Amino acid sequence: MSAATFLEPWQLRAAFARSLSDMYGKEVPAYTTLLDVSHEVNADFVAKHGADAERLGSVARVTAERHGAIRVGTPTEMAQVARVFGAMGMHPVGFYDLRDASSSSVPVISTAFRPIERAELARNPFRVFTSMLVTADRRFFTADLERRLESFLAARTLFGPELLALADRAEAEGGLPEDQAAQFLRLATQAFELSSEPVDQAWYRELEAVSAVAADIGGIASTHINHLTPRVLDIDDLYARMEARGITMIDAIQGPPRWEGPDVLLRQTSFRALAEPRTFRTADGEIVRDALRVRFGEVEARGIALTREGRAAYDAAVLEIDEKAAAARAEDPGLTETRRQEIARGVWQKTFPATETGLAAQGLGWFTYEVDPAGFTPEVRREPVVYEDFLPRSAAGIFQSNLTSDGAKDASQEGINRDADWMSGALGRELNDPFDLYADQVDRSLAGAAETLGVDPA
């Protein structure tokens, strides 16, 4: 018997990412275009910048890397999805509340399922941004609508018993034999296919009037992958190339501005959701064909992970850019995106040091330390830690920029409290804190380096 007859969680994760990508490429042809352009951008960037280009990940890892986004309706569904991803060595990390993320808001809270160990990330970093509807939030849903949503959601099954049983077995036994792995992957992929079942038109439209995201989640009896996002080494280049191909991108690249210093956190952009044919059942039972714009294409560039101090500086910089842009807009209502970017760059230059050494010295970014014992005197190399997570405000921007309508939010109502503890309870699992994971990675590298050098890490 060969070793391939048993698949470990990372092999399930890698195979699932490929299977999902193949399925999504068939469903959304524009995704394939995005992959082609991403490959071109990465190849050209490496050709131009040589070894430096791969400082934040080898071109092989970056080009194969994806994140997905899915949306579910209830804590029960959330706990089930956690079991499916748990089988693949993907654990919930971080809590995102998108109900209040600046001016754009959507009625969901989210976490990301991803590998958490450095070695596991290196094997395959696939991650999935997972959102769940907050039906109890009165700013979005009346008590009556909440009740009807809850009964609709309670009556559907997103993940069948066979899939969940295989997931539990994989998690308990550290993988699955080949035939069960194949079945697990088939069922898991199927769970995220776009269903061809007719959508109840009146119900979908009623929810859509409140929030298009609520309709996408609670208006249909199944779920689907919303987008799969490739990673690029130069997102500004990608943006320009997509526009040159006639694909209209959203107005801005979300996250930090382009500037001369090191890339931090995450920069993302997307193209507007495409019209996809769907069938609806009308109130008189008639089946009609129509189209929905829900699924879009997104791309991202990842930078250095920031410490808590670095993140606080980032959050303050984002607010300052908002204020400055608002003031500039008050003087000139036609403020261009280019001008806004200039404002952002100005704020960046005074917030962040222009070098990795500066980021490390000021304790703003995370770095690991490896000892290269090859030389006569061992050399300690500093390596940046890549940001593996998401940004709530960018996420809200990505959600919102692709919606056809703003929906209706009743600001006179009180929201309902949802936090990381609540999410952890819903998942029935520990919710990892991203800062703790980065700190742990750094501590381990320091301990390893100290051991190699034979010194006390303190």
Binding site for Ni ion (CB under 5 A): 69, 229, 298
216-235 positions binding ligand OOG, by CB under 6 A:
226
- Comparing CB distances to ligand OOG, the nearer of 71 and 99 is 71
CA distances from 348 to 245, 261, 361, 365 (A): 31, 9, 17, 15
Q: Which stretch binds ligand OOG (CB under 6 A): 152-160, 202-210, 316-324, 393-401?
A: 393-401
Choose which of 225, 359, 364, 398 interacts with ligand OOG (CB under 6 A): 398
Q: Which stretch binds ligand OOG (CB under 6 A): 37-45, 77-85, 232-240, 389-397?
A: 389-397
Report if residue 441 touches ligand OOG, rule: CB under 6 A: no
* DSSP per-residue string spanning 363-412: T-B-EEEEEETTSSS-EEEEEEPBP-S--HHHHHHHHHTT-S------TT
184 binds, among ligand OOG, Ni ion, none (CB under 5 to 8 A by kind): none
To the nearest 10 degrees (0 to 180), the angle between helices 161-173 and 9-27 is: 150
Q: Please state whether beta strands 275-281 and 266-271 pair in parallel, antiparallel, or not at all (unpaired).
A: unpaired
- Distance CA(162)–CA(155), nearest Å, equals 18
Report if residue 271 touches ligand OOG, rule: CB under 6 A: no
> By beta-carbon distance, which residue lies closest to ligand OOG?
395
- Comparing CB distances to Ni ion, the nearer of 91 and 227 is 227
Report if residue 394 touches ligand OOG, rule: CB under 6 A: yes
Contact 433/94 with Cβ under 8 angstroms? yes
399 binds, among ligand OOG, Ni ion, none (CB under 5 to 8 A by kind): ligand OOG
- Distance CA(373)–CA(325), nearest Å, equals 50
394 binds, among Ni ion, ligand OOG, none (CB under 5 to 8 A by kind): ligand OOG
Q: Which stretch binds ligand OOG (CB under 6 A): 22-30, 243-251, 363-371, 392-400?
A: 392-400
> Which has the closest alpha carbon to 12: 108, 98, 123, 105?
123
Shortest approach of Ni ion to residue 129 CB, angstroms? 5
Shortest approach of ligand OOG to residue 402 CB, angstroms? 7
Instruction: Say whether 282 sits in a helix, a strand or coil.
Output: coil
Contact 295/220 with Cβ under 8 angstroms? no
Report if residue 395 touches ligand OOG, rule: CB under 6 A: yes
Q: For residue 266, give both structure tokens.
A: 């995450």
Q: For residue 163, give both structure tokens.
A: 């899939």
Q: How many helices (H) and strands (E) does the chain have?
A: 17, 14
Shortest approach of ligand OOG to residue 293 CB, angstroms? 13
Shortest approach of ligand OOG to residue 238 CB, angstroms? 15
Shortest approach of Ni ion to residue 27 CB, angstroms? 16
Contact 369/380 with Cβ under 8 angstroms? yes
Q: Which stretch binds ligand OOG (CB under 6 A): 1-9, 201-209, 388-396, 445-453?
A: 388-396
Question: Which residues lie below 8 Å from residue 433, measured CB to CB, with a gap of 6+?
Answer: 93, 94, 420
- Comparing CB distances to ligand OOG, the nearer of 222 and 452 is 222
Shortest approach of ligand OOG to residue 91 CB, angstroms? 18
Shortest approach of ligand OOG to residue 34 CB, angstroms? 14
201 binds, among ligand OOG, Ni ion, none (CB under 5 to 8 A by kind): none
Report if residue 69 touches ligand OOG, rule: CB under 6 A: yes
- Distance CA(122)–CA(65), nearest Å, equals 11
The H-or-E segment that residue 185 falls in is helix 178-191
Q: For residue 358, give both structure tokens.
A: 């500066």
What residue type is assigned to position 93 of the chain?
A: V
Q: Which residues of this protein are in contact with ligand OOG, per CB under 6 A? A: 69, 71, 129, 131, 226, 268, 298, 390, 394-395, 398-399
